[in-house]
Amino acid sequence: MANALRQRFPDAAWIDATASVYGDVAIGEGASLWPGVVIRSELQSVSVGRFVNLQDHVMVHIGYTTPTVIGDYASITHRVVLHGCTIGENCLIGIGATIMDGAVIGANSIVAGHAFVREGQVIPPNSIVMGTPAKVVRTADNFVANRLNAWLYHRNAMAYAAGNHRAWTGAEFEAARVAELARLEALHAARRAD
């Protein structure tokens, strides 16, 4: 399936050979699908934004009446389940979290590992969400940290596509990370000034 997926989604940075994608699915530029990712869309649609990373064993499905939409630069970490929900731009969804039908996670938010976001729950932008059921425990603008995480995974995806599985080591990597952090902080400051 991997070659067919690379042909179907030529702008993706990396699609692992074990990823499975079925139905009405769009995958944006620079996105990456890591080992064991499954995306199914039999009725509604799934939209994966630009530079999104769907990490190992993520399951993305649609709701009966709701599509699944993942905004640009989101990091969907290991073993997350997204089911007919909307994830805003620059979000980080923690390991093992579940986001249910009709739920909306606002931009720049973090959903903690193993959190359970109920059907129809709306999380405001810049939230930190924890628990089962999930609750907003703090407000914080996570733009820089979450966007840096997406950058790290995009860089890793490009390395994996080239056969390099050690892209997060060495002086060159650290210099690039520091430079990207400075760029994101300046971008964020400019966005807040507007």
Count of alpha carbons within 13 angstroms of residue 68, beta-carbon side? 27
**pLDDT tens for residues 49-79?**
999 999 999 999 999 999 999 999 999 999 9
Supply 161's token pair: 């596509």
- Give the number of other CB atoms < 10 A from CB of residue 122: 11
Is 49 in contact with 31 (CB distance < 8 Å)? yes
Mean pLDDT of the chain: 96
**pLDDT tens for residues 87-121?**
999 999 999 999 999 999 999 999 999 999 999 99
pLDDT surpassing 80 at residue 2: no
Tell how far CA 88 is from the center of its chain.
Answer: 9
This prediction's pTM = 0.96
**pLDDT tens for residues 116-175?**
999 999 999 999 999 999 999 999 999 999 999 999 999 999 999 999 999 889 999 999
Residue with tokens 């997926």: 5
Q: Which segments within the chain are labelled E, that is strand?
A: 14-15, 20-27, 32-33, 38-48, 53-54, 59-61, 68-70, 75-76, 81-83, 86-87, 92-93, 98-99, 104-105, 110-111, 116-117, 122-123, 127-130, 135-139
Give the pLDDT confidence score for residue 1 in this predicted structure: 59
Is 72 in contact with 28 (CB distance < 8 Å)? yes
Is 59 in contact with 81 (CB distance < 8 Å)? yes
Q: CA–CA distance from 7 to each of 25, 27, 55, 67 (Å)?
A: 14, 12, 20, 24
The DSSP letter of residue 124 is P
Give the pLDDT confidence score for residue 49 in this predicted structure: 98
